[in-house]
Structure 1
Amino acid sequence: MKFTLKDYQRDAVRDSLANLRKARRLWHSEADKTAFSLTAVTGAGKTVMAAATFEALFHGDDEFEFDADPGAVVIWFSDDPSLNEQTRFRIIEASDRINYTDLVVVENTFNRQRFEAGKIYFLNTQKLGKNSLLVRGHDIEELQTKADTTFPEMRPDLRAYTIWDTIQNTIEDPDLTLYLVLDEAHRGMGAQTTAGQNAKSTIVQRLINGYGSVPGIPAVWGISATVERFNKAIESAGNQIKLPNVVVDAIKVQESGLIKDIILLDIPDDTGDFDTVLVRRATDKLKECTLAWAEYAKQQEEAHVVVPLMVLQVPNTPDPDELGRALDTIFQRYPELSAASVAHVFGDHTTQRFGNRDVPYIEPQRVQESTWVRVLIAKDAISTGWDCPRAEVMVSFRAASDKTHITQLLGRMVRSPLARRIPGNDRLNAVDCLLPKFNRKTVEQVVDVLMSGDDSAPPPGRILIDYAEVQPNPAASVAVWSAFEALPSQTRPQRGAKPAKRLTALAHELASDDILTGAGKLAHAEMHIALDEFQTENEAKIKAKRESVLVVDGKTVKADLQGKGRSLEEFWEDADVAVIDDAYRRASRVFSPDISRTYVDHLASKVAEREKDPEEFLDAIVEARVSVAGLGLMMEVQAYFDGKAETLAKAWLAKYAAQIKALSDDRKESYRQIVEMSTDPQDVDLVKPEARYEATKARENDKVTVLPTWTNHLLCDQYGKYPAEFKSGWESTVVETEAKRHCFAFWYRNPPQPGQSSLGIAYQEGGQYKIVRPDFLFFAEQDSKVVVDLVDPHGLHLADALPKLQGLAVYTENHANAYRRIESVAEIKGKLRVLDLKRQDVRDAISSAQEVVGLFSGGLADDYQ
C-alpha cells in the first residue's frame, strides 16, 4: 500500500480477510455461499480498506498472515458509474500492487467466457438493466415470451456471451472464486418506492441469490455507512452462511483525524428571506478559509495548498434567477474569484443559465481535482456516495422540509482535506453550513439527526449553532504554554501492532528527514546482532529446530488383506525447496520479510563472498534460509525479537524527539502514527491550541440559555472570556475552588473530543483499551516555576467509572512527576470527596477495588475543599 493504514483500518482489513479466507474454503469444500458486511462511517476510508484487502487477496500479505487466492475474481458493484470511476481512481491511488490493467470497467462491448483471475471488474445497475447490450438475449422472461416466434431476438453483434453467462461460467469454474463487493450496500436491498429502485433491488438480489440457471455469487461483501438493510436481506434470504460482520468504531475514526471535528451551523436570527445575508456570510467564510489554508501551507512549507470550495445546494427545481442573484452576491463580496470558477453537477449534464451567467457541467468525481471550481451548484447528486474533501462551506437553498438531503450532503463534506487533523486549529478542522431557509427549531432537528447518524452522515465530533472562536489567552506566559505542551498524553494501543514494522517505519522516516543517515541499515544491523546473540545463547535448541526443517517425517500405513491386519511404518525424507521456502516464509512473519531477507544475507556473508564465489554464496543463502526457518520455530524468539525492536524504536524516538518536534505538521503526523503502532499505550506531547470554537448557548427542549463565561482560561475571546457549560453544579464548584488556591494562574478545560490539544489517558474495559479525557488542568506559579494540577470530577453513576479511575491511577504511577497534584473528585451524599492519586496506598486500593463508591466514601478519601 502507498498509504499507511490507520489502526482501525488494519483491524477491518484483518477481519475482512479472515472472512474471505473462510468464504473461499466453504465454497470449494462444501459449495456453501457466504455473506458479510463492513460498516464504516463516511470518511473512514472504506476504499482504502478495500484496496488493502484486494492486495492481500491477490498477492498475499505477511502482516495479515494471509496467503493469496490465485483464483480470486472481484466484481465491484454500485448503482452509479461515476461512483465506480471514483472508486477505481482511489484504488489506483492507494495500491502499489494492483495494476491499472487489473481494474476493468465492464463496458457494453465486454465479451468474455469467464472473468480473469486477479482482476476487479466494475459493474453498475444500468449495465445489468433489461435494455443493456450486456444482457440482451439472456433475459429468461423475454426468452420465454419469444420462444414460439419464428425469429427469436439474437444477441447483439452475435455476442458469444452475455454478462450473465460470464458470471455463471466464472462461478462454475473450480479454479476460480468469485467475490461480489456491493458498494453502498444499503441500496437495492428492499424498502423501494419507485420502479427504478425496484429494478436495482431485483438486480442486486439476482446477483446474490441467483437468476435462472445462473447461481448466486459464492462470496458477498457489503460495504456501507449503514448496512442494516443489507444484513436483514441476507438473513431473510437464508441461502448464505452469515459470517461475522466487520464494524469500524466511529470513535476511532474521529480520533484518526480523517474527518472534520466540527460542523458549524448558521441560521437567521428571525424569520424572513435572508438568502442574500447568509450568502454574503458564506462568501466571507470561503475567503477566510482560503486565506487560512494558504497561510498554513506557507507556514508549513507545504507543496500542496488546499483550495476551498463552496457548495450551493439547491432544490430539485431551482429558480435560475434566484441562483443568479446568489452568484452575483458571491462575486461582489469576493471579486478576486474568477468568473469561470463556477460549475454544476445537475443530472442533465448541459451548461445552465443562471441569471446572466452560463455555468458548465462537471462530473462529480472530477470536482476534487479541478481546483478551478470554487463554487459548486448541486441538487442531491452530491450526496450519493462520492465526496469532496476541499468542500469547506455549504449554503443550502433547500426548504426546511428537506432535512434528509442536508444531513446527507454534510456527510459527504466531513472528510479532512489533508487526511489528517490540523493540530490545535479548529478553523481548519471545521465545515460551515448556512441554512437561510431554516428556523432554529428545524436546525435543531438536523442536529439531532446528525448526532444519531443516518445512511450517509456519521455523527461528527461537535455540531455548534451558536458559537464563538477562542484563541490563546494573551496573558498566559510562554512558561505556562511550555508546561502545557510538556504534559504526557497517551495513545490508544493497536491490536496486532508489530515492533519490527514500527522500527523499520521509524528508520525510513528518520532517513527521509535527514535526521539519521542510513537509519534503515542501522536498524537492520542492530536486529542482526540481536538474532546472532539469540542463536549463540540457544545453539542446541536451534540446531534441533533446524534439522526439523530439513527433514520431513511421516507414517506409511501397511494393510495385510489376508490377515486383515495393518501396521504403521515411519519414514523420513529430505525436505525439498518448496518445504524449506514455506518454513522460511512462516519465520519471516515473525521477523518481518525485510529483516529476514537482510539477515539471510548477513548469515551468508559470514560463509562466502557474493562477488568472489557466487555459487558458494548461493549455497550459503539456502543454508541461511534454513537457519532463519529454524529460528522462527523457537517459541521464545518472538517475544525476544519484539522486545529488542521495541527498545531500539523507543531509544530513537527519545533521542531525536527535538528534531522531530521541529518538523512540519505533516511530517510530525507521520511520526505520531509510528508512535501509535504499539500494543501498549504510548506517550505523546500535547499541542498548543491556536483556535477553537466553543458553544455560547445551550438548548434543552425548546429553551435556549446563554452560557456563563469565565476568566483566566488558557483560551479566551477578545474580551478575555471563555464560555463553558457544566453538566453538574459541582464541576463549576471545582473550578471556583481551584481558582482560589494560592498562586493559581490559569485553568484549562480539557476537550472531551480527540485531538492533539486534548489530554488523553488510556484505560482498559472488557479487555479493550479506551481513552478517558480528564476534565480540568490548573496552572500555578510556585517557586518561580509553573506547576500543573490535574483534577478530574468523576461521575460515579457511569458503568466505566472504576476502569477510568484505574486507568488514571496507572497513568499517575508512570507520570507522577509531571504534576504537582493528580486528584479525582466525586460527589457522595451531597458532599464532594477527593482521592489523592499520588499516594501509593490510594493507587493500590484503586487497583484492587471491585466498586468505586466505597473508595470515595471510605477513609482513603478526604473532603474536597
Structure 2
Amino acid sequence: MQKFIKGSEDDGLCVMPLVIGVTATPQRFETLIAGTTSTVQKVIVPPEQVRESGLLKDRIIIHYPDIQLSADMTMFKGAVDNWRKKCAHWKTYCDREGEKMINPILVVQVEDGNDRLATQTDLGACIDLLEETLGRNLQPGEAVHTFNDHGTLKVRDVEIQYIEASRIQEEENVLVVFFKMNLSTGWDCPRAETMMSFRSAQDYTYIAQLLGRMIRTPLARRVSSDAELNSVSLFLPYFDEETVKSVVNALRDSEAVMPTETGTNKELITLGRNLEYSDVFDAMDNLITYRIDSARKQTPLKLLIQISRALTMDSIDLEAQKTIKDAVLSKMNEEIKRIKESGKFDILSASITGFGLGTLIFEYGDNAFTFDEATQTMTVSEFDISRHFEQSGKLLGEGLHKEYWIRHSTRDHIDVKKEIIVLTNDTDAMERINAFAQNEFIALYENNKRAISRLSEARKNIYERLTNASVQPISIPWALPDSIDFYLPENSVTFEQHLYCNEDGRFKTTLNTWESGVLDEELNNGAICWLRNIDRKKWSLEIPYEVNGFTTSMFPDLVVVRADTDGYIFDILEPHDPSRKDNYPKAVGLAKFAEKHWDKFGRIQLIRQKRGVDGREHFYRLDMEKTTIRNKVRGITSNEELDRIFDEDAVRED
C-alpha cells in the first residue's frame, strides 16, 4: 500500500509518495491512503494528533536584525552558517542511526528583476559567500533557481540551472534554491530547513505561506536526540520586531497546521549538554519517566499483539509473537468455555442464529391495526453471521478472530464464528481478556526495555508509541537528549550549574519566587547541578496523576542532583501553590510515583512556602520518599486533607 499527500492551491501541498499524507484546514486533517488508482480512503485526523505524530517539525525560528541597518549579506552569512550547522547535525545523526543521508536545502528568496537582470539581489555576492563558507567551488546542479522566464544563469563561474519546483525534493544533489515568488502549488520540501528572504516586509503573507511548505519532517518522524533537527530557521534582514510579528500572526492565522512553537531566535533557542556534568548524564541510565497520550489510546489486546510482533521483528525475542498469540488464543478458549459452563452461551447463540418474526396488520376500513407476536422464527443467514464475525474481529483486532477460526478448522465453521461473536459481546469476558493483555504487555515491555533502548531511534519510536497508547500508564527510560529546545522568556536571568547551556556555557530563564527560593536552598546545601523541567516537552520528566478518573500529566518544576559516597542522587522538587485545585490530585500522583520508583530517585517533594513560628517565610516540604508520608497522602480526596498533612508532617530543610 502506498500513501499520498493531497494538495490544492489553498493548502499548497502536492500529490507525491510519502510515509503519510495530511491535508490541513482549521477544522480537520484528512489522511489519504491510496490502495489503487481507483480507491482512496479518507481518515479524519485531529490536528493535535498530527503534531504529536512527529510528521511536522516542532519549531519555526525567525532571525531578524536588532538595528535598522543595511546588513543583508551579514544575515545571509548567518543563514548559510545555520544551514551548514544543520548539514553537520544531520550527517552525525544519519551516520549514528544508519539512516539514509538527509541533505538539507538552503532556500533563498530574492528580489524581482528587470529587463536586464534576473533579480536585483546580488547573486554573485551570494555565490562568493556560499563557496567561501563551503571551502570549495559549487558543483553543477547544487545551486538552482525557479525563475520561470530564465534558463541556466551564469554567475561568476557557476551555472545556476533552472528547476521545476516539484522536482526540488527528489533531486538530492540540490543544496541551494534561489526563487522569487513562484514557489507555489507543487512545492513540498521537507529537506528545506533554512530560508533567507531578501524581500521587504510587505511580503510577509507570502513568506508565511512558503514556511507552511517547509514544516514536514524529512524522516516523517521527530528526532528525539537532537532538537536542532526539529526546526525551520527563517532569516529576514529587512524586517523589524513589529513586522516579524506580522509573519508570526500570518502563520497562526493560516489554514496550514503549523509547528507547536513559532517565534524569534531570541525566544526559541537550542541548548546543548553542559560538558561539565557529563558524568551526571552518564549516571541517569536507571531513571524513568512516563508519556501520557490520552488522544490515542488502544485496547490492551491490540497493543500486546503489536509489541510482540515488534520484538520478533527486531530480533529481541524471536518467539515473542508466537508465544503471545498462543497465550491470547488460549485465554479466548478459556473465556468461551467459561461462558458455555455458565449456561449463557446457548441463549446468546440462539439470539444470533435465529429471531422471532412479529406481524403488524393495518385495517384501512376500520382505521385500526392489530399486532401478532412472533409466530414464526427466522434463521440468520450465513452471510449475516459472517458479517457479525468480521465486526467481532474488529473489536479483537490484529486478525485474532481468523486465527481462532483457523485453529478450529476441523469443526463446523458456523459454530466457530458464533463462539467469537458471543465472546466479543460478553462484556465481562472481554474485560478479563484485556486485563490479561494489559498485564502481559507491561511484563513484555519491562522484560525487554533495556534491549529496546539499544535499538535505532526509528525503532525505539515504535515502542514509545505503543507505551504511550496504553490505557494504564507505563514507565519508560528517561533519556535526556544531546540538545533540547528551550523557550527563553523576556527578562530572563542567568543561573549557574544547569545541566544544559548555550554555546557560551550560560543558562538563562525566569523562575518565580518559590522556584528560585527552593533552588537557592538546594545550591546552598551542596547540590551539584539541576534541570528546569519544562511543561510538555518531549525531553521533560513526566509523572501521571488522575483528575475525575482521567489520567493526565504533571511536570515537576525542578530536578536537582546531589552526590553521596554511592554516587549521584536525583531529586524531584515541585514548589506548588496551595490555592490551586489540582493540589491534592498532584500530591496523590507524586505519592504513587514514589511508591513505584522510590529506588530510582532521591527526595520526591511537594513544597509550599508559609510563615514559620519565627514569623518568617520558609519552604516546607512533604517528602514522598518517606513511606509514612506517602501512605498518608496516597488516600486523600481533598485539598483540606492535604493541608492537614502539611501542617502535621512538612519539614524545613534550610
The TM tier, using the shorter chain, reads 0.7 to 0.9
Contact 1:349 1:361 in 2 (8 A): no
8 A Cα contact 2:331 2:433, kept in partner: yes
Matches within 5 A, 1:97-108: 98-102=34-38
Could you tell me how far 1:860 is from its partner in structure 2? 5.1
Change (3 A) 1:464 1:595: same
2:602 to 813, 820, 841: 820
Equivalent pair of 1:580/1:626 in contact (CA under 8 Å): yes
What is the alpha-carbon distance in structure 2 between the residues aligned to residue 89 and residue 860 of structure 1? 55
Q: CA shift at 1:537, angstroms? A: 2.5
Match of 2:572 in 1: 790
| Deviations, residues 188-218 of structure 1 (Å, cap 9, x unaligned) | xxxxxxxxxxxxxxxxxxxxxxxxxxxxxxx
Aligned to 2:572, the other structure's residue is in SS state strand
Q: Give the letter aligned to residue 587 of structure 1.
A: S
Name the SS for the 1:406 alignment partner. helix
1:675-730, Cα deviation, whole Å (9 max, x unpaired): 122123222211232123556x753xxxxx5x4333322223566x4322224233
Quick check: 1:506 aligned with 2:307?
Answer: yes
TM-score, normalised relative to structure 2? 0.84
1:483 partnered with 2:267: no
Q: Where does structure 1 lack aligned partners over 5 or more consecutive residues? A: 4-46, 49-75, 103-117, 121-180, 182-220, 224-245, 609-618, 700-704
Shift of 1:817: 3.4
TM (norm. structure 1) is: 0.65
Pick from 9, 18, 41 the counterpart of residue 79 of structure 1.
9
The answer for the alignment partner of 2:537 in structure 1 is 754
Shift of 1:579: 2.1
1:639 and 2:575 aligned? no
Residue 677 in structure 1 maps to residue 469 in structure 2: yes
The offset of 1:316, in angstroms, is 5.3
3-state secondary structure, aligned to 2:196: strand
Match of 2:355 among 534, 552, 562: 552
* Alignment check: 8 A CA contact 1:392 1:430 kept: yes
Q: Residue 572 and residue 427 in structure 1: after superposition, are their counterparts in 2 closer, same or farther (change >3 A)?
A: same
In structure 2, the gaps of 5 or more residues are: 24-29, 612-616
Which position in structure 2 is the counterpart of 1:158? none
Contact 1:708 1:725 in 2 (8 A): yes
Aligned positions of 1:429-440 closer than 5 A = 429-440=230-241
User: Of the candidates 83, 107, 117, which is equivalent to residue 311 of structure 1?
Assistant: 107
Aligned letter for 1:786? Y
1:780 aligned onto 2:562: yes
| Structure 1 range deviating more: 278-287 or 654-663 | 278-287
User: Partners of 2:577 and 2:511 in 1: how far apart?
Assistant: 11
Q: Once the two structures are superposed, what CA deviation does each residue of 1:105-132 show, in whole Å capped at 9, x if it has no partner?
A: xxxxxxxxxxxxx568xxxxxxxxxxxx
- Distance in 2, matches of 1:581 and 1:638, equals 20
Q: Could you say which residue in structure 1 is the equivalent of 2:506?
A: 722
After superposition, the Cα gap between the structure-2 partners of 1:766 and 1:390, relative to the gap in structure 1 and judged at 3 Å, is farther
Could you say what secondary structure the match of 2:144 adopts?
strand
What is the rounded CA distance, in whole Å, between the counterparts of 1:337 and 1:358 in structure 2?
9
Post-superposition CA distance 1:759-812 (Å, at most 9, x none): 112344576544332211111123413222101222456665665555444433
Q: Which residue of 2 aligns with 1:629?
A: 421
1:506–1:767: structure 2 CA closer, same or farther, 3 Å change rule?
same
Equivalent-residue separation in structure 1 for 2:22 and 2:515 (angstroms): 51
Matched, 1:280 2:280: no
State the distance in 2 between where 1:267 and 1:590 align.
54
User: RMSD of the TM alignment (CA)?
Assistant: 3.8
Match of 1:594 among 399, 421, 424: 399
Distance 1:853 1:656 in 2: 38
How has the CA–CA distance of structure 1 residues 434 and 78 changed in structure 2, closer, same or farther, with 3 Å as cutoff? closer
Greater alpha carbon shift after TM alignment, 848-857 vs 620-629: 848-857
Deviation at 1:822, TM superposition (A): 1.2
| Paired amino acid for 1:762 | P
Mapped pair 1:581 → 2:354: no
SS state of the match for residue 490, structure 1?
A: coil
Give the distance between the partners of 2:220 and 2:36, measured in 1 at CA: 24
Secondary structure of the residue that 1:414 maps to in structure 2? coil
Judge conservation of contact 1:545–1:631 (CA < 8 Å) in 2. Answer: no
Shift of 1:651: 1.8
Cα distance in 1, alignment partners of residues 163 and 546 from structure 2: 49
Match of 2:173 in 1: 372
Higher relative contact order, structure no. (Cα contacts within 8 Å, ≥ 6 residues apart): 2
**1:692 and 2:466 equivalent?**
no
CA distance in 1, matches of 2:7, 2:198: 33
Contact conserved, 1:408 with 1:457, CA < 8 A, in 2?
A: no
* CA distance in 2 between partners of 1:383 and 1:770 (Å): 41
Deviation at 1:402, TM superposition (A): 3.2
Aligned equivalents of 1:361, 1:301: Cα separation in 2: 33
Q: How many pairs were matched up?
A: 629
Residue number in structure 2 paired with 1:22: none
- Amino acid paired to 1:248: P
CA contact (8 A) 1:549 1:583 kept: no
Kept in 1: contact 2:270–2:502 (CA 8 A): yes
Shift of 1:310: 0.7
Offset at 1:312?
A: 0.8
Q: How far 1:435 sits from its partner (Å)? A: 1.9
